[in-house]
């Protein structure tokens, strides 16, 4: 991955799910398991559309779209429990992990994710990055999630880098919008794997 065209970049921000970790199939299976139990449908299209949102926000959308009254906190806990049972299936996305590894000693690096901190830390452990990622912003750290810029702005603050000098690595539309809303450049990592 050649980053020579990213002039003025002083800090890198990486999304986690679908960017550093090939965890989206495991998330989909977890949503579908919970959906089967509670009798709602959750498709791959839903997964892609809502990637980057918090679990509670996703449940609110499910309630609205499917005329249900599911408890967002409880359903999110159930979904995360299914996900963690299958955490061993999550693999690193090697080209992006190598990039983080390559630049981690040259510029400030952070991870900004819609996952809860407890889950994000376990994902980082499974993909071998827990010792390399020191700055982490999760769903627990901001009130507004992607496409709001809050996650990435908090990353910039932790890195002590101006937002316009940050480069975001993302795989989802809501993440691209969040980067734009934060005034940051971004790279769609899907073309590299």
Q: What does the pLDDT read at residue 5? A: 45
Q: What does the pLDDT read at residue 27? A: 96
Q: Which of 38, 35, 64, 171 is nearest to 114 (CA)?
A: 171
Please determine, looking at this structure, whether the domain spanning 11-23+90-192 carries the CATH number 3.40.30.10.
no
Q: What does the pLDDT read at residue 3? A: 56
Please determine, looking at this structure, whether the domain spanning 24-88 carries the CATH number 3.30.450.20.
no
Answer yes or no: 171 catalytic.
no
Cα dist from 69 to 50, 51, 61, 145, whole Å: 19, 22, 11, 22
User: What does pTM read for this prediction?
Assistant: 0.92
Taking the C-alpha atoms of residue 160 and residue 157, their distance in angstroms, rounded to an integer, is 5
Residue 114 has what DSSP assignment?
S
List the chain pLDDT tens, one digit each, 193 residues: 445 445 679 999 999 999 999 999 999 999 999 999 999 999 999 999 999 888 999 999 999 999 999 999 999 999 999 999 999 999 999 999 999 999 988 999 999 999 999 999 999 999 999 999 999 999 999 999 999 999 999 999 999 999 999 999 999 999 999 999 999 999 999 987 7
Annotated catalytic residue, options 15, 17, 150, 171: 15
Q: What does the pLDDT read at residue 8? A: 78
Question: What are the structural domain ranges in the chain?
Answer: 11-23+90-192, 24-88
Q: What does the pLDDT read at residue 112? A: 98
Token pair of 14 as six digits: 């990486």
């Amino acid at each position: 991955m050649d980053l020579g065209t990213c002039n003025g970049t002083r800090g890198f921000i990486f999304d986690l799910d679908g960017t550093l970790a090939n965890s989206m199939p495991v998330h989909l299976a977890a949503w579908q398991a919970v959906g089967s139990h509670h009798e709602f449908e959750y498709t791959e299209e839903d997964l892609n559309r809502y990637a980057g949102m918090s679990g509670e926000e996703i449940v609110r959308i499910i309630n609205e779209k499917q005329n249900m009254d599911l408890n967002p906190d409880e359903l999110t806990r159930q979904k995360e429990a299914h996900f963690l049972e299958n955490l061993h299936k999550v693999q690193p996305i090697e080209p992006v992990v190598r990039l983080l590894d390559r630049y981690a000693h040259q510029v400030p690096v952070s991870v900004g994710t819609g996952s809860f901190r407890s889950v994000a830390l376990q994902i980082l452990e499974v993909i071998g990055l827990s010792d390399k990622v020191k700055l982490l912003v999760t769903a627990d750290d901001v009130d507004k999630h992607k496409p709001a810029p809050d996650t990435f702005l908090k990353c910039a603050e932790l890195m002590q880098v101006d937002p316009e000098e940050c480069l975001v690595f993302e795989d989802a539309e809501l993440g691209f919008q969040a980067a734009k809303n934060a005034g940051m450049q971004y790279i769609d990592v899907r073309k590299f794997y």
